Every structure is written in structure tokens, then in C-alpha cells.
């Protein structure tokens, strides 16, 4: 088969420019989903398209969705990997519910994703993969490209594998290797359709494959072949433009939640002027925090890949005892293993940041999918009365701020702090207004230097507390005159010696609780553009911020007022929360669990809460929540 | 293990720990806490030995840290007037690893027992040893669970009748020295609680060793396993059973030195009468032999019945430590390119909204 792509074997560096007149449609927003086999490079393709959108100045949000298996059997439904990107000319809150465009690299990708494409949506398929064998693998009895099952969609059939191989015929690359560049062909085609800047992708490919220049050139050629295919074939009559978004002024970059979280830890080390030790064990979806931090040793960061989850947090606690910022990162199953050491941190009252990038549970659950079902584990998943402050980021970019906030609380109150991220914010990305490092909060701490016994004995009492924060002093080994012993056994208030005294234990249990209850957290803010007409409040926490916000906008656009509030501090809860809950006729709490926050709120505030839950391993769709909120408002108004 | 050659000078275990010229006394190392072990417990003797030994190091007392797990022996830190943490069951090596990695100016000691180190904490022990973190691990082996009142431990002899094994234990025990050598330990020693001189010598060498040092201390539990090591303490029997390891000297034992250690055909070691072996065929002890097979063979001379028990230093070799190398990497990175937070946050691909 001939190709219309650039025939030269070495791609030049001149920018691609369109010349064929097409109808240009201006859109406010579009959602594109790239779907293919795990080995097809869909995550990379989506990531690059996202970077192009970012470079163009669109607002964007992404949702990677991939299997836990590194390479599930080729061509099967379990092996399908996808990457959805939503970009727009205004500030958006979610990666989008349904793709306007689905790129399906094989029948499995089509079958797994077609139900999400709205009627009239565009589907671009790689026809080369629609052979009998691949169709049979996913139980297609007839070829969906030949029967009328896709008649509701605008389907573009492109022989991507053949075209890519043709474009690379002169490169000397083997057929198989050439075929592997088909994801870049798809990216090139989509880049043409959406008037994306292409220089960044070409530069990226040349840098990524710097050690294999022939592979780099092949990928650039494939990318260009896809672009020229759109430009020259008549199959695509329309291209689309999405203008840059009108975001607050400043300099932006694209960032994923896990990267932002790692940067937050780097910043926390700088702002506290403490060396950082991350003690951790690889686990999906938290490992990227380890990968990122291990690159930044030049900020005084030591990353310790331990023999297990328990040793990871143990090393972090040991480092904290020695005066470092101790951090451990994991996902839900790891928190279960770390529970006893978190308890030791609570008992010894040492600062510690414990990151839980939540995933589907219980047990091994859904390692690559998102969920919010560790809230009660964070609250109560330890023996004894063992309170810890809990914070949760709302968006990928918020992961940076929440890491600083978790550190502030840990250092100020000398306590382990649970940071509940999740798969959706961790792997999702969005534009980030780059903060001015000089304006970040000062987190510096004062270590104990003198014996503190109030009786003037010249002794050091390790459990003597600051009357305001109830934090004990941080007296580091190496400080003369402050030698003391701490540990997991109950300690006498003040002196800190082992104590089995009943009254002392009762007092210490209450002191530890009072310390956490007294953590200074900001009031929760309520967003109600109606100026107070809303009778329904929707309250969320964590990564549901995006879909809840998008749904609230849609509801308001229909003329129905609704108030929205979102919690970043889960323990303690903001001081004004009870009053806020009491100010509305109806409160609904959507969660990706079976109602864990709702249960806590009912218990604490003795108030009626409607819990709306879904535990599907995927973020809520704005459309779904829009329906829920609309129904609730109608019912409340009718009552 | 292949260590990256970071050009680190060969150091002793205490080289980065501040010292003092002030003479120290054992008394200064005793905390004001009443010692609460059972009367007659071997832990008392070990505590006294260590409190007498530490002043000889001349370190600043505030730069010494004892970290323990859970068990009778793990109460140890409370009785030491140093810094200390009584942590959770089995996890002391991991906590000590974090501390030692971030604080090279501390002399970090782990106090653990046979249950704590070899059962619940077995994983942390072997990984600390293979990493060669600069820790001194004192493994109090009384071959029984004391604090939980008398269940068999991973070092109890097969057939041991305890509360949890009324018909006798059917577990094969660990030989702690063999296990440590299998985990690539760079320093392994053994001593008896009652042998103040021998224990002090091993402790001294362990303290000066840069890297992980394991010292197995046979310790009597008078309540749940009384007399477990009596045959090594009985003046009549001890000489027949204890094989003292002295570097550079032929390995001989017995009241008249009439027994000795020789090689077997399989690269192992065996004991016999010197008269039968011949003086020239005795093995000369050398703990610096790189191959762990030698120390391992020595450790296999002993068995659960204590018919022969080598004491002293089995292995003492130099290998770069985890903590030195981890710190060197951080330092290298900082010198190559000091951290610039604003540059990191900004990254490479940005765009500006007016």
C-alpha cells in the first residue's frame, strides 16, 4: 500500500504546516481517549498529546487507565490500556465523562471503550488489527467495521500499521520495529486534527531516544506520517480548534499528582531546613513518588528502598528520631502493614508523613484503579486509641500544597500525619500555576537544647508539652544533657518513664486525642454563587473535587442553586463544619467508598447526611453526579 | 555484593562519633530506672558488662543510642543513661537503619532477642546485615520466649516441651551465627553472658567495626529455660565444649588443649584429638577470610546440644556500608548541582498566561 507521507528517510526539523483547506470548527472543549493494547504505548501517546495541549495553553485534565498486568495477553480486553485527556478554552475540573473521539488501536480497545462514546462521536480505528484472530479474541462474531453496529458514530478507518511501516520502509528498521511506531502515527493524525503544536513532541522523541537515533527518527517520521495523512487524504474534512484557556495569569506547567506530591516533599525539606529520608517499598500507584524523590538527592533527600513496608516506615521513624523529616509512601495494603509503626509514632510523638496513594481494595484489590476506601483505615486502623491528623489533596496540583500542609502539622504537633491521595489524582495531570518558591510557608523547627524539667532538677522530661500545641519537645540524640528513652510502652506524663498507672494512662490517652483534635486547620469554604439560595449542600473530599465541581456547574447552569464544599482536612475536621452542615436543608456526600465520610459526619454531628457512593475503580462522571444532584434538589424543593 | 567504589577511606565503626577526654565511669551509664528483670536473669550480667565497657570507648555519652524491639532483653535501653528507643516487635533494625543513615555521628546499638531478631524480625535482621548498615546488633539468645511466659523460640532445641509445645517442638531451629553469615554479615561474634572478659573483647571489636556487627550472647533465662547453657559454664565440662577462637592461632580446646579443629574432605571443619589430627593439620583461625564458607563451617561445629561451641569472632571483613554510600551519593549530588527549588518547580516545559 502506498503512503502519502513524507517519503524522505530522515525527517527534517522544520515545523509542520497545514496547507489543505479544511473546514475548521471552533470548540470550547474536547475529550479524546487513546486506547490500545498494553504494549501499544497509549500512556506515552496520551501524555504527549497532553503536553501539546498544555504547550498550546489549553486547560486540561487527564485520566490514565491501565491494567495491573505489565503485559496482559495481547489483543484481549484485560490487556487494554487507555489514556483520556480533556482540554478546553476555559478552566475545567475533570478528565471528562465520555470521549468525543476514541482512538482504538485494536478490536479489544474498541469493545472495551465504545460504550462510553456518545452518539455521533468520532471513532478512529487501526483497521490493520481487525483480522479474524483479533476479532475472535474478544468474541466479535462479525467485524464491527463491516456490520452496522457502529452506525451511530463517525468512524474513520485508517490502516495505521501498514501506513507506519510504509513511511518507515526506507529507514532500515525491521517491519516489527517499524510497526511499533504506530502510536506516533495516531498521535500525528490527532495533532493535525486539533491544530496542535508539534515541535515539542518531536523534540521529546529525539531526547527520549537520544541513545538510539534511528529509533528517534523513526518515531518522528511516524508522527509526521500521521500528520501528513490527515493533511493529504480527503477522509477528514474537518479540523478543530480549541483556543487557549483564560486561566489566571502566570507561568504554568503540566503536572501529575505524584510528581506534585514528590515536589511538595522536596519543598517541605527545604522549608523546614531538615534532611529528608523517604523510607518506602515499591507499590502501585505510589512508586512514582519514590522514583521522583530518588532523582533529587541534591536537595538533601535520601531515599531508602526497604525490604518491606514495615521497614520503610521504621527507617522513616528512626530518621525522625534523629531529627530528619521522615516520610513513607505506600498504598492501602502498605498502610495495613505500617499500622503498628504509625502507632509507635503516635506513642513516641515523633513527626512523620505517611503517604497513602489509595487504590481499589480490599486486599490486593484493583492496584491501578482509584478508590477512597482507606479513610476509616486512616482514622481507626490501629490498635488502641491512636489518633492521627489526616489530609487529602483535591486535585493533582493540590498534591504539592497538601504535602507541605502534612509536613507543617507533623512538625508542629510531633505526630504522624496520614496523607490520603488516590490513583485518580496521583496519575492524573493538569496545568499548575508554578508557585514562587520564596512565598512558600516557613516550616522551620526548634530542637530542644536545654533540660526542661519544671521542677528545676536539671533533668530532661521528654513528655513535657507545649501548652498551646500539646507537642512534646524534639530532643535529638547527640544533644548533651537531654539523654532520654522513649518507646511504645505507656509513658508518665512529663517525665516520660514507663507508667502503668491507671489515671496516667487515661490522661495520656486523652492528651494524645486532644493534641490531634487541637490541630489548627482552616475553616471549610462554601462555594454558592447563588448568594445563599441553595438549600442543598454537596460535600466531598479528595479527588472527587473535580467531578463534583463540574456537576455543580451543570446543575447551576440549569438554574438550580447548589452549594459545594470540599474537605482537605479530614482529621480534625474544620471547626466551622458543623455549622455549615446545619445551614442546609439537605447534605449529600458523594464518595468512592461505601459512605465512610458520611458515617463519620453522622457520628460527630448527629446530622442527617445523604451518602451517594460508587466503588467502580474509576472517578465519578460529572454527568452522573449532575443527575443525582438534580434529583435531590427537585425532591428537596418538592418537600 | 558489588559496591560502588566511592573512594571512601577505610574507616572504623566509631570514626565519625565525637569523643571526650573526660574519664567516664560505668555509673554514668546507668539510668535512674529500677531494673525489672527477674532475679538471676542473664540480662543483668550483660547490662553490667556493657555499662563497664562503654566508658572505655571514650565517646560522648549523648552520641550513643540503644534501639530495641520487644521482649525481655528489649527493656535494655530504659536502663542505659544514653539516648534510646524501645520500639516494636522485630523492627529495631529498620528504625536503627533510618537513624544510622541520617546520623553518622551516632554509635547505634540494637538490642534484640532470639524471638525478636529471628522470628518476627527475621526479615529486618537479614536485610540490615546484607546492607552492612553501621549498627551493632546484640542478640540475646536464651532459646525461649520469656516475656510471653515460656513458649519455644526459633532457637529452641527440637523436641522442646513448653506451654505451646506440650508434646515437644517439631521445629528445626536456626543457628544464629550460620544465619548471619548466610546473610552476608561482615562481623559475627558469639559470647556467653557470664564471660565478662570474652564478651567485652567481642563487643570492643564489634564497636570498632564499620558496618553491621552481630554478637550472639548466650543468656540464661532462670524462669523458663534455666540452665540452658550450664554445661558451658560448668568448670568441668566447659573446656571440653567451648572452642575459643583466637585470630592467628591454631584452633585448640580442651582442659589440656588436647582437642583441635581440622578440615574435612568437603571443605568443612571437624573437631578431633590433636594427637590424631597432628599439630600441623590444625586450622589457624582467621576471621578476615572473605569466603563466608569458613565462618559458616566454624558455626556448624556447634549444635543444639552444645557439644562444641566456638566463641569469639567468626568473621570480621571490610565491606562498604549502606549508610556511608547513601550519604556519599547525597553529598555527590549536592556538590555536583546544589538543589534549586524554583528551578525544580518550574521544570522545562512551561507556558505563560498573560
Q: Which of A486, A520, A554 is the last residue of a domain?
A: A520
Measured CA to CA, the distance from residue B178 to residue B139 in angstroms comes to: 14
Q: What is the per-residue DSSP string for A200-221?
A: HHHHHHHHHTTT-HHHHHHHHH
pLDDT, tens digit (0-9, with 9 covering 90-100), for A448-469:
999 999 999 999 999 999 999 9
- Residue ranges for chain B with pLDDT beneath 50: 1-4
Q: How far apart are CA A226 and CA B98, in angstroms?
A: 52
Residues A236 and A267 in one domain: no
Sort out which chain B residues have CB atoms less than 8 A from A485's CB and list them.
31, 33, 77-78, 80, 83-86
Q: What is the pTM of this model?
A: 0.94
Q: Based on the structure, what is the number of domains in chain A?
A: 4
Q: How far apart are CA B229 and CA B219, in angstroms?
A: 8
Q: For residues A515 and A345, is the Cβ–Cβ distance under 8 A?
A: no
- Name the CA radius of gyration of chain A, rounded: 27
Find the angle CA(A92)-CA(A98)-CA(A104) to the nearest 5 degrees. 120
| pLDDT tier, A388 (very low <50, low <70, confident <90, very high otherwise) | very high
H or E segment to which residue A260 belongs:
helix A257-272
Residues A64 and A35 in one domain: yes
Euclidean distance between the first and the last CA atom of chain A, given in angstroms as a whole number: 67
pLDDT tens-digit map of A13-39: 566 776 766 788 999 999 999 999 998
Return the closest-CA partner of residue A45 out of A118, A141, A166, A126.
Answer: A126
* Residues A453, A389 within the same domain: no
| Paired sense of beta strands A325-330 and A276-280, if any | parallel
CB of B92 closer than 8 Å to CB of B128: no
3-state secondary structure of B262: strand
Asked if the C-beta of A484 comes within 8 angstroms of chain B's C-beta atoms, the answer is yes
Domain ranges of chain B: 26-244+311-343
Q: Are residues A484 and A375 part of one domain?
A: no
Instruction: Indicate whether A487 and A577 sit together in one domain.
Output: no
Q: What is the DSSP string of A406-420?
A: HHHHHHHHTSEEEEE
Same domain, A303 and A207: no
Identity of the residue in B67, B83, B351 whose CB atom sits nearest the CB atom of A54? B351
- Contact state of A435 with B67 under an 8 Å Cβ cutoff: no
Contact yes or no for A486 and B345 at CB 8 A = no
Which residue's C-alpha cell is 531526547? A207
C-alpha distances in Å from residue A21, one per residue of A197, A230, A239: 18, 12, 10
User: Is there a single domain that holds both residue A339 and residue A482?
Assistant: no
Residue B342 touches partner A, C-beta closer than 8 Å: yes
Give the C-alpha separation, A78 to A76, whole Å.
6
Q: Give a yes or no: residue A502 inside a domain.
A: no
Same domain for A409 and A553: no
Contact A597, A541 (CB under 8 A): yes
Given CB atoms, is A386 within the 8 Å cutoff of chain B?
no
pLDDT value, residue A246: 87
| Number of other CB atoms surrounding residue A380 within 10 Å | 12
Domain range for A473 is 446-497+510-520
Tell the residue number behind the cell numbers 584429638, with chain if given: B273
Across A202-216, A358-372, A619-633, B1-15, least confident range: B1-15
**Distance from the Cα of residue A2 to its chain's centroid:** 43
Radius of gyration of chain B (CA): 22
B124 in contact with chain A, both atoms CB, cutoff 8 A: yes
Say which CATH number the domain at A392 has. Answer: 3.40.50.970
First to last CA, chain B: 56
Indicate if the pLDDT at residue A356 is higher than 80.
yes
Residue A95 · residue A25 · CB < 8 Å: no
Cβ–Cβ < 8 Å for B50, B82: no
Q: List the single best residue of A478, A490, A496, A498 to mutate versus B (max B Cβ within 10 A).
A: A478
The CA distances from residue A565 to A67, A528, A541, A587, in Å, are 33, 9, 9, 10
Closest-CA distance of chain A to residue B265, Å: 38
- A10: confidence class by pLDDT, cuts 50, 70, 90: very low
| Contact: B88, A249; criterion CB under 8 Å | no
Mean pLDDT of the A315-332 span: 98
A483 shares a domain with A345: no
Cell numbers placing A93: 475540573
Asked if residues B115 and B69 have their Cβ atoms less than 8 Å apart, the reply is no
Provide the 8-state DSSP code for A41.
-
Residue A172's pLDDT is 87
Contact assignment for A322 to B342 by CB distance below 8 Å:
no
Task: Tell me what the pLDDT averaged over chain A comes to.
Answer: 94
Q: Could you tell me what percent of chain A has a pLDDT over 70?
A: 97
Please give the biggest Cα pair distance in chain B. Answer: 96
> What number of other Cβ atoms are within 10 A of residue A130's Cβ?
20
Establish if A261 belongs to a structural domain: yes
**Cis omega (within 30 of 0) for bond into A362:** yes
Nearest CA in chain A to B104: A322
Specify whether A231 is located in the same domain as A145.
yes
Same domain, A50 and A180: yes
Bridge partners of A329, per DSSP, are A355
CATH 3.40.50.970 corresponds to the domain B26-244+311-343: yes
Check if the beta carbon of residue B150 is closer than 8 Å to that of residue B144: yes
Would the CB atoms of A318 and B95 count as touching at under 8 Å?
yes
Residue B34, chain A, CB below 8 Å: the answer is no
Grid coordinates standing for B286? 582467621
Residues in chain B closer than 8 A to A311 (CB atoms): 91, 93-94, 97, 123-124, 127
Percent of residues in chain B assigned helix, strand, coil, to nearest 5: 35, 20, 45
Show the beta-strand stretches assigned E in chain B: 64-68, 83-86, 107-113, 136-141, 187-192, 213-218, 242-245, 252-253, 259-263, 269-273, 309-316, 351-353
Domain of A78, CATH number, reads 3.40.920.10
Closest CA to A107 of A143, A155, A71: A143
pLDDT at position A438 over 90: yes
User: pLDDT tens digits, residue range A457-512?
Assistant: 999 999 999 999 999 999 999 999 999 999 999 999 999 999 999 999 999 999 99
CB-count exposure of residue A11 (10 Å: 0-12, 13-18, 19+): buried
Q: Is residue A263 assigned to a domain?
A: yes
CB neighbours of residue B276 within 10 Å: 10
Residue from B86, B147, B353 whose CB has the most chain A CBs within 10 Å, to mutate: B353
Residues A215 and A148 in one domain: yes
Cα of A541 to nearest chain B Cα, Å: 26
Beta-ladder partners of B252: B260
Residue A119 covered by a domain = yes
DSSP secondary structure of A544-605: GHHHHHHHHHHHHHTT---EEEEESEEESPPTTHHHHHHTSSEEEEEESSSSHHHHHHHHHH
| Rounded Cα–Cα distance for residues A204 and A401 (Å) | 29
Q: How far is residue A29's CA from residue A87's CA, in Å, rounded to a whole number?
A: 6
A309-329: burial string, b at 16+ Cβ within 10 Å, e else:
bbbbbbbbbbbbbbbbbbbbb
Question: Is the separation of the CB atoms in A279 and A328 below 8 Å?
Answer: yes
User: So what's the pLDDT on residue A237?
Assistant: 82
Instruction: Mention every residue, 6+ apart, whose C-beta is less than 8 A from residue A234.
Output: none
pLDDT digits (tens, 9 = 90+) for A205-251: 999 999 999 999 999 999 999 999 999 988 888 899 999 998 899 99
Amino acid at each position: 500500500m502506498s503512503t502519502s507521507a513524507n517519503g524522505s528517510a530522515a525527517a527534517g526539523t522544520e515545523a509542520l504546516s497545514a496547507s489543505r483547506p479544511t473546514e475548521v470548527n471552533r470548540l470550547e472543549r474536547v475529550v479524546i481517549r487513546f486506547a490500545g493494547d498494553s504494549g501499544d504505548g497509549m500512556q506515552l501517546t496520551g501524555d504527549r498529546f497532553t503536553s501539546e495541549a498544555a504547550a498550546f495553553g489549553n486547560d486540561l485534565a487527564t485520566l490514565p487507565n491501565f491494567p495491573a498486568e505489565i503485559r496482559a495477553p495481547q489483543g484481549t480486553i484485560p490487556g487494554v490500556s487507555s489514556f483520556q485527556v480533556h482540554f478546553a478554552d476555559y478552566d475545567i475540573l475533570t478528565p471528562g465523562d465520555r470521549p468525543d473521539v476514541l482512538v482504538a488501536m485494536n478490536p479489544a480497545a474498541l469493545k472495551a471503550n465504545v460504550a462510553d462514546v456518545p452518539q455521533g462521536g468520532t471513532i478512529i480505528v487501526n483497521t490493520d488489527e481487525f483480522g479474524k484472530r483479533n476479532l475472535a479474541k474478544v468474541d466479535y462474531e462479525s467485524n464491527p467495521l463491516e456490520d452496522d453496529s457502529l452506525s451511530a458514530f463517525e468512524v474513520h478507518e485508517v490502516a495505521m500499521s501498514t501506513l507506519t511501516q510504509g513511511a518507515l520502509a526506507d529507514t532500515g528498521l525491521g517491519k516489527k520495529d517499524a510497526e511499533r511506531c504506530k502510536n506516533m502515527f495516531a498521535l500525528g493524525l490527532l495533532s493535525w486534527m486539533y491544530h496542535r503544536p508539534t515541535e515539542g513532541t518531536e523534540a521529546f522523541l529525539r531526547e527520549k531516544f537520544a541513545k538510539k537515533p534511528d529509533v528517534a527518527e523513526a518515531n518522528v517520521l511516524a508522527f509526521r506520517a500521521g500528520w501528513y495523512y490527515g493533511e493529504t487524504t480527503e477522509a477528514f474534512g474537518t479540523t478543530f480548534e480549541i483556543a487557549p484557556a483564560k486561566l489566571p495569569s502566570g507561568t504554568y506547567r503540566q503536572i501529575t499528582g505524584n510528581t506534585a506530591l514528590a515536589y511538595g516533599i522536596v519543598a517541605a525539606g527545604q522549608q523546614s531546613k531538615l534532611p529528608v529520608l523517604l523510607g518506602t517499598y515499591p507499590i502501585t500507584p505510589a512508586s512514582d513518588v519514590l522514583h521522583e524523590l530518588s532523582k533529587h538527592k541534591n536537595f538533601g533527600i535520601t531515599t531508602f528502598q526497604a525490604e518491606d513496608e514495615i521497614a520503610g516506615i521504621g527507617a522513616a521513624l528512626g530518621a525522625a528520631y534523629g531529627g530528619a523529616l521522615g516520610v513513607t509512601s505506600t498504598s492501602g495494603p502498605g498502610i495495613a502493614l505500617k499500622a503498628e509503626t504509625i502507632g509507635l509514632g503516635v506513642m513516641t510523638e515523633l513527626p512523620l508523613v505517611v503517604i497513602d496513594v489509595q487504590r481499589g481494595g480490599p486486599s490486593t484489590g484493583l492496584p491501578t484503579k482509584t478508590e477512597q476506601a482507606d479513610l476509616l483505615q486512616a482514622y481507626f486502623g490501629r490498635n488502641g486509641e491512636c489518633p492521627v491528623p489526616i489530609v487529602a489533596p483535591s486535585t493533582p496540583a493540590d498534591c504539592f500544597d497538601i504535602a507541605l500542609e502534612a509536613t507543617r502539622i507533623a512538625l508542629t504537633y510531633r505526630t504522624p500525619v496520614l496523607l490520603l491521595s488516590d490513583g485518580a489524582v496521583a496519575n492524573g495531570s493538569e496545568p499548575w500555576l508554578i508557585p514562587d518558591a520564596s512565598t512558600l510557608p516557613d516550616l522551620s523547627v526548634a530542637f530542644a537544647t536545654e533540660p526542661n524539667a519544671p521542677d528545676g532538677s536539671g533533668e530532661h522530661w521528654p513528655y513535657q508539652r507545649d501548652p498551646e500545641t500539646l507537642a512534646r519537645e524534639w530532643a535529638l540524640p547527640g544533644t548533651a544533657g537531654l539523654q532520654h528513652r522513649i518507646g511504645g510502652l505507656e509513658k508518665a506524663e512529663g517525665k516520660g518513664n514507663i507508667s502503668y498507672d491507671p489515671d496516667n494512662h487515661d490522661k495520656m490517652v486523652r492528651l494524645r486525642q486532644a493534641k490531634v483534635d487541637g490541630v489548627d486547620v482552616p475553616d471549610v469554604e462554601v462555594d454558592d454563587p447563588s448568594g445563599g439560595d441553595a438549600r442543598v449542600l454537596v460535600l466531598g473530599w479528595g479527588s472527587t473535587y473535580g467531578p463534583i465541581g463540574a456537576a455543580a456547574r451543570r446543575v447551576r447552569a440549569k438554574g438550580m442553586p447548589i452549594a459545594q464544599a470540599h474537605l482537605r482536612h479530614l482529621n480534625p475536621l474544620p471547626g466551622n463544619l458543623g455549622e455549615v452542615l446545619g445551614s442546609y436543608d439537605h447534605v449529600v456526600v458523594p464518595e468512592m467508598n461505601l459512605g465512610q465520610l458520611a458515617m463519620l459526619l453522622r457520628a460527630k454531628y448527629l446530622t442527617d447526611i445523604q451518602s451517594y457512593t460508587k466503588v467502580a475503580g474509576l472517578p465519578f462522571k460529572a454527568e452522573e453526579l449532575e443527575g443525582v444532584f438534580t434529583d435531590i434538589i427537585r425532591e428537596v424543593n418538592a418537600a | 555484593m558489588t559496591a560502588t567504589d566511592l573512594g571512601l577511606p577505610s574507616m572504623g565503626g566509631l570514626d565519625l562519633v565525637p569523643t571526650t577526654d573526660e574519664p567516664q565511669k560505668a555509673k554514668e551509664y546507668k539510668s535512674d530506672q529500677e531494673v525489672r528483670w527477674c532475679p538471676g536473669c542473664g540480662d543483668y550480667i550483660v547490662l553490667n558488662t556493657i555499662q563497664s565497657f562503654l566508658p572505655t570507648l571514650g565517646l560522648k555519652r549523648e552520641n550513643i543510642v540503644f534501639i530495641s524491639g520487644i521482649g525481655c532483653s528489649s527493656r535494655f535501653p530504659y536502663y542505659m543513661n544514653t539516648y534510646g528507643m524501645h520500639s516494636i516487635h522485630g523492627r529495631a533494625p529498620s528504625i536503627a537503619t533510618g537513624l544510622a543513615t541520617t546520623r553518622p555521628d551516632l554509635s547505634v546499638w540494637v538490642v534484640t532477642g532470639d524471638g525478636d531478631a529471628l522470628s518476627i524480625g527475621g526479615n529486618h535482621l537479614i536485610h540490615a546485615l546484607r546492607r552492612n548498615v553501621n549498627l551493632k546488633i546484640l542478640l540475646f539468645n536464651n532459646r525461649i520466649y520469656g516475656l510471653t511466659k515460656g513458649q519455644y523460640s526459633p532457637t529452641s532445641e527440637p523436641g522442646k516441651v513448653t506451654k505451646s509445645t506440650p508434646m515437644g517442638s517439631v521445629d528445626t531451629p536456626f543457628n544464629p551465627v550460620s544465619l548471619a553469615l548466610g546473610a552476608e554479615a561482615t562481623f559475627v561474634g558469639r559470647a556467653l553472658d557470664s564471660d565478662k572478659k570474652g564478651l567485652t573483647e567481642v563487643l570492643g571489636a564489634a564497636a570498632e567495626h564499620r558496618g553491621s556487627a552481630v554478637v550472639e550472647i548466650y543468656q540464661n533465662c532462670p524462669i523458663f529455660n534455666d540452665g540452658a547453657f550450664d554445661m558451658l559454664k560448668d568448670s568441668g565440662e566447659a573446656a571440653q565444649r567451648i572452642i575459643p577462637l583466637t585470630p592467628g592461632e591454631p584452633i585448640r580446646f580442651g582442659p589440656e588443649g588436647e582437642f583441635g579443629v581440622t578440615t574435612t574432605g568437603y571443605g568443612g571443619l571437624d573437631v578431633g584429638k590433636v594427637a590424631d589430627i597432628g599439630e600441623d593439620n590444625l586450622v589457624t583461625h582467621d576471621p578476615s577470610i572473605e569466603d563466608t564458607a569458613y565462618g559458616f563451617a566454624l558455626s556448624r561445629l556447634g549444635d543444639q546440644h552444645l557439644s562444641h561451641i566456638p566463641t569469639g569472632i567468626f568473621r570480621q571483613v571490610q565491606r562498604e556500608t549502606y549508610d556511608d554510600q547513601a550519604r556519599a551519593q547525597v553529598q555527590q549530588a549536592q556538590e555536583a548541582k546544589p538543589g534549586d527549588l524554583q528551578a525544580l518547580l518550574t521544570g522545562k516545559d512551561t507556558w505563560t498566561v498573560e
